[in-house]
């Protein structure tokens, strides 16, 4: 998410002074020998410290050769912190797959994924698949997107899950290593104090046990490393001030998080309004993955094109009525995994709002509105093949039944930059077009 700009630090060169002998070997006093020997020991200790910072160079999540130089003490400490975080995130793999987009996918034993570092999951195994919501049908599924890494023809073996490897460079792009993989805190859903802008459809006022939609996939332009553009489903409970619970899934372009501008399948959760809990994907203990063919955080392919082919992904989030966990399905029947109920407070019972739509971060480069695009980068009024859409919006009720959303409200907090238009028909059910180019004559 939006991060503070990470000002680059100038590396300091560390100079080792040369001490010239002023006496012949036979004239050196014991005191001189002791002094030289003491300096020699300090030098050895310094080199040992630096060496230990880069001794991890044979691990899959290691530091690169270009980093094996002397750095100021604060840089060494930062790299030590990064190394420790990478050890938590990147688990031992039984197989590794290289993707054409540069990603490395590790096939990690299911019971060793990051979720099982959580004290309440130690020693456990993933839950069995839950009961599907009633009235669920695969007949309305779209032409399914796949992920770039799977186009290699390889897959992870049974008993493992594919996890996108996090690298040192991924963490160095973040303004805060300790908050790597987390969103910044927002005070209200429609708040733009932190540069977040939305075009969304939402329902509220009832008890919600899940949501489903098909989301058009594009590659909107993101003009800054510290901005993003996403399209997602939110299941929400609690207040927007301090105890907000959210479950989120969709696609996102985030150069800061992923280094490139591919749309990527992502998940998120928080139980305290983005303060200290939750994270993207599998970057902390939380979401339990059960699928060996879908990698969370991996690039989606193909993508839609203006006046060309249109592709969307179908996502379903729902609460298992038996155990209370929140499950996620991607596409036609592929269960990705679940958020354990104990992660949440309010969402242990149900959601109080469901939201669908787009969000961007506007850092106001040069004092004007960003040119980062939302959706396709075109306004909703351009319609199919030009504007991005959500279709077949549904919710899960108290009886674990999928029903069409009712009383859908739409909101664009900066309609001259990004807008939204809703509708209903027999084929798409409840739907809307949304998005925009950002900066333009009406959005300076």
- Residues annotated as catalytic are 248, 359
Task: Report the C-alpha gap between 335 and 260 in whole angstroms.
Answer: 27
Pick from 348, 345, 341: which is nearest to 121 by CA? 341
Pick from 366, 384, 345: which is nearest to 439 by CA? 366
Phi, psi of 310 (to 5 degrees): -115, 130
CA distances (Å), origin 104, targets 98, 144, 228, 308, 442: 5, 23, 22, 31, 42
DSSP 299: B
Task: Report the C-alpha gap between 282 and 362 in whole angstroms.
Answer: 26
CB 390 within 8 A of CB 216: yes
Pick from 288, 293, 366, 384: which is nearest to 330 by CA? 293
Residue 102 zone, left/alpha/beta (φ > 0; ψ -120 to 50; rest)? left
Task: Report the C-alpha gap between 331 and 145 in whole angstroms.
Answer: 8
CA distances (Å), origin 129, targets 132, 359, 406, 408, 424: 9, 31, 29, 30, 33
Task: Report the C-alpha gap between 382 and 380 in whole angstroms.
Answer: 5
């Amino acid at each position: 998410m939006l991060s503070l700009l990470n000002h680059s630090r100038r590396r300091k060169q560390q100079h080792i002074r040369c001490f010239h002998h002023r006496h012949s070997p036979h004239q050196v006093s014991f005191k001189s020998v002791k002094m030289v020997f003491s300096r020699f020991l300090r030098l050895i200790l310094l080199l040992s410290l630096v060496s230990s910072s880069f001794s991890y160079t044979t691990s899959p999540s290691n530091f690169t050769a270009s980093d094996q130089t002397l750095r100021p003490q604060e840089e060494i400490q930062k790299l030590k912190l990064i190394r420790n975080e990478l050890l938590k995130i990147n688990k031992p793999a039984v197989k590794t797959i290289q993707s054409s987009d540069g990603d490395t996918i590790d096939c990690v034993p299911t019971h060793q994924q990051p979720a099982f570092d959580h004290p309440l999951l130690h020693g456990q195994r993933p839950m069995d698949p839950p009961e599907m919501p009633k009235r669920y049908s695969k007949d309305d599924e779209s032409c399914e997107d796949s992920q770039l890494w799977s186009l290699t023809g390889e897959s992870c073996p049974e008993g493992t899950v594919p996890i996108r490897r996090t690298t040192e460079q991924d963490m160095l792009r973040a303004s805060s290593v300790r908050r790597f993989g987390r969103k910044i805190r927002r005070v209200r859903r429609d708040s733009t104090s932190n540069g977040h802008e939305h075009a969304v459809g939402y329902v509220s006022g009832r008890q919600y046990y899940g949501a489903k939609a098909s989301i058009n996939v594009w590659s909107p332009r993101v003009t800054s490393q510290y901005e993003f553009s996403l399209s997602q489903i939110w299941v929400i409970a609690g207040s927007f001030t301090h105890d907000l619970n959210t479950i989120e899934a969709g696609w996102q372009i985030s150069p800061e998080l992923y280094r490139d501008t591919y749309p990527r399948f992502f998940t998120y959760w928080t139980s305290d309004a983005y303060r200290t809990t939750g994270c993207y994907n599998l970057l902390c203990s939380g979401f339990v993955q059960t699928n060996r063919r879908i990698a969370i955080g991996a690039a989606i392919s193909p993508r839609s094109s203006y006046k060309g082919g249109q592709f969307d992904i179908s996502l379903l989030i729902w609460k298992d009525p038996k155990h209370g966990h929140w499950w996620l399905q991607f596409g036609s029947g592929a269960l990705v995994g679940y958020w354990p109920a104990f992660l949440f407070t309010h969402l242990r019972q149900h959601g109080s709002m469901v939201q669908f739509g787009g969000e961007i971060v506007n850092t106001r480069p040069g004092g004007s509105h960003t040119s980062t695009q939302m959706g396709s980068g075109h306004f909703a009024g351009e319609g199919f093949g030009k504007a991005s859409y959500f279709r077949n919006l549904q919710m899960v009720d108290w009886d674990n039944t999928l029903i069409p959303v009712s009383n859908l409200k739409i909101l664009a907090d900066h309609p001259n930059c990004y807008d939204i238009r809703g509708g209903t028909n027999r084929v798409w059910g409840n739907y809307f077009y949304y998005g925009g180019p950002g900066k333009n004559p009406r959005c300076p």
